Amino acid sequence: MKINIYYGGRGLIGDPTLYVIKRMAEVLEELNVKVDRYDLFDQKSNISKLPQTLKEADGVILASTVEWHGCGGYMAQFLDSCWFYGDKEYIKQLYMAPVVMSTTYGEKEGELDLINAWISLGGITCQGISGYAPEAAELENNETYRKLIEDAAENIYKAINRRTKNLPSSRGVVRQVTYRTLNTGYTQQETEQLSEYASDEKYVEKQKEDIKELADIFKEILGNRESEDGAIPAAFQAHFKPKAGTDLKYKISMKDAGKSLTLRVEGKELVTGYGEAVNPDMELELERETLTQITEGRGTFNGSFLNGKIISRGEMANLRLLDELFPFMEDLLKGGKQ
């Protein structure tokens, strides 16, 4: 037996869904089930191709985290791709179990959404698991919760192994009607090439002109912002004080700028850049102005955290270490690097 797990969360430290599917995978492997896991955030450029992997499985687990409203995000993209490019004949015999954990509220709604989506695709559903946990530690440290997760994994195995049957659903009829009008038989690339707008040269040319006009309007505004963004990584490089044996990845999110700075520290090596950090050891969330003040030596990471200007996720020791690795204020006071 083979079960594919599709994780639609963001891969954040402490995500309770990650702990649940990890424990489930361990239980299923103990039952001689081959388990493949697909992290959709890591496969975002290939999500439209992932429905092809369904053909390798006897069952799937759709796992997602509700952080504010619904599953959404990468999971929604994956289900959209299953609708447009998945093999419906194969999905008809494919079992799906939902795993939805909420760090706020709405896990039951999220679970129902996944069930309804899978039924609309024509697949078969079996009982999964859902619940609320603001941090994975609340599940890890509770023997009762761990047992519930293990039992859920065993029930999924039994349902797929026994080919449990469900009564017909009205959504199956809706799927047949709606998909008949949508299914053209084209691949994703052919669909895009044959798009009414993509094949209209005048429309495409007009879009290009509009984009160029908008780019010219905001060029000066964005130019100033880009200059500031470039100065921040340069400041970290200039003030870097290596510590032997350090191997950490930091993600610093500027919530008002919509950007994340990644710091990768390996001994004497430092790599900086903007973009998503996969499985960082420490996450910080702050305003751009707060980060600018720190890099200019007018504040510290620890001080800003104590003043409520930084929200952190991860071990506090790693937060305190930032001020040792990048002593901006100390260098300023010594009249060192500016």
Q: What is the dihedral of CA 159, 161, 163, 167, to 10 degrees?
A: 0
**Three-class DSSP category at 250:** strand
The answer to whether domain 228-333 has CATH 1.10.10.10 is no
Domain ranges of the chain: 2-188, 228-333
Render pLDDT for 179-196 as a digit per residue (tens, 0 to 9).
Answer: 554 455 555 555 555 555
Q: What is the DSSP string of 274-285?
A: ESPPSS-SEEEE
pLDDT, mean of residues 236-254: 92
Token readout for 37 is 């896991």
pLDDT for the residue 47: 92
Report phi then psi at 137, rounded to 5: -60, -30
- Distance from C-alpha of 224 to C-alpha of 246, rounded to nearest angstrom: 34
Indicate the burial class of 170 (C-beta count within 10 angstroms; 0-12, 13-18, 19 or more).
exposed
Beta strand 2-7 with 34-39: parallel, antiparallel or unpaired?
parallel
C-beta of residue 4 within 8 angstroms of C-beta of residue 60: yes
Render pLDDT for 48-77 as a digit per residue (tens, 0 to 9).
Answer: 999 999 999 999 999 999 998 888 789 999
The CATH number given to 2-188 is 3.40.50.360
In the chain, DSSP finds a helix count (H) and a strand count (E) of 13, 11
Q: What is the dihedral of CA 324, 325, 327, 331, to 10 degrees?
A: 120
pLDDT for the residue 15: 94
Same fold across 2-188 and 228-333: no
pLDDT, mean of residues 273-287: 88
* CA nearest neighbour of 170 among 108, 109, 122, 98: 122
Radius of gyration of the chain (CA): 24
